[in-house]
């Protein structure tokens, strides 16, 4: 892709769909209309294969399920993933993904920092961006 004469590298659509789903489910806990359209339009068999390879199938399956509910009109965005659901997804991710476990131990050490605790509390209690 080119922008103002400069070549810009970007992800292919199938990978971007997985990034959007994983970011929304694992990190933000908020599924937006942008996430909906990204997952809806760009998810493919390649996305499913990449999700398996990167061990983030549950985030993609959750996003696909949320998309179905949005299409049916039973869910509106932005949607905040309930804390118990989010925690269960994260625990399963930690149980099945060695890389996530390895990188999470360092993250857990930062929780002793008061500022990090405040940021985490804010993240867990916010309703939107």
Confidence band, pLDDT 50/70/90 cuts, at residue 8: confident
Task: Report the distance separating Cα 27 and Cα 110, nearest Å.
Answer: 16
pTM, two decimal places: 0.79
Tell me the per-residue pLDDT of 58-112, one tens digit each, with 9 for 90 and over: 999 999 999 999 999 999 999 999 999 999 999 899 888 878 777 776 666 666 6
Q: Which residues contact 48 (CB under 8 A, 6 or more apart)?
A: 57, 60
39 pLDDT exceeds 90?
A: yes
| % of residues, the chain, pLDDT over 70 | 82
């Amino acid at each position: 892709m080119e922008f103002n004469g400069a070549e810009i590298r970007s992800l292919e659509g199938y990978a971007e769909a997985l990034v959007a789903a994983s970011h929304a489910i694992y990190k933000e806990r908020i599924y937006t209309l942008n996430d909906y359209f990204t997952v809806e339009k760009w998810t493919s068999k390649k996305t499913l294969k990449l999700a398996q390879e990167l061990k983030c199938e549950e985030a993609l399956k959750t996003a696909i399920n949320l998309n179905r509910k949005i299409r049916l009109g039973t869910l509106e965005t932005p949607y905040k993933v309930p804390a118990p659901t989010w925690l269960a997804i994260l625990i399963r991710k930690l149980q099945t993904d060695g890389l996530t476990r390895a990188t999470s131990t360092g993250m857990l050490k930062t929780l002793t920092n008061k500022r990090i605790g405040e940021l985490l509390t804010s993240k867990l209690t916010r309703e939107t961006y």
